[in-house]
Structure 1
C-alpha cells in the first residue's frame, strides 16, 4: 500500500489522521515545510528512524482507522 518513495505530504493528504503516527515517532511533519518534497525514507533518515518501521506503523494505523 505505502512505499518508501511516497512523499510525506501525499500520505497525509490521503490519510490525515496519520499525523498521530508521525507524532508518536517524534516526527513533527505537520509543522515542517519539507513534507511537500520529502519522501517517507528521507524523513526517516533525518529523524534516525527505520523507514520499514514507519511504513509498518502507518499501514497498521490505516487498516484500523480507514476501513473500506
Structure 2
C-alpha cells in the first residue's frame, strides 16, 4: 500500500489514486491538470491554499485505504 506524506507529489498521488481528486477539489485545488500543480508537494499546495497539510494527508490516506478494500 502507498502512504501519502506531506512531501508526496500531487501528480504522483493522482496517477496512483485518481479517487483522491475530489479531496483536492474540496479545498480549492481546482487546477489539478495544470503542470505546475501536479509537480507540487501536498505541503506546498496546502500552503498556497491555506489548508492544514496534516488534515489533507489523513484524508488522502483514508480515501486510498477505503478504495483498496
Asked if the contact 1:18–1:62 (Cα under 8 Å) also holds between the matched residues in 2, the reply is yes
**If each structure's helix is expressed as a fraction of its own residues, which one has the higher value?**
1
Give distance in 2, aligned partners of 1:52 and 1:13.
Answer: 21
Q: Give 1:39 deviation, angstroms.
A: 0.5
Change beyond 3 A, Cα 1:32–1:21:
same
**TM-score normalised by L of structure 1:** 0.85
Q: Give 1:30 deviation, angstroms.
A: 1.7
How many residues align? The count is: 67
Which runs of structure 1 show a deviation greater than 4 angstroms over 4 or more consecutive aligned residues?
A: none
Question: What is the alpha-carbon root mean square deviation over aligned residues?
Answer: 1.3
Q: Give 1:66 deviation, angstroms.
A: 2.5
SS where residue 40 of structure 2 aligns? coil
- Give structure 2 stretches of 5+ with no counterpart: none
Asked if the contact 2:32–2:38 (Cα under 8 Å) also holds between the matched residues in 1, the reply is no
Deviates more, 1:6-15 or 1:17-26: 17-26
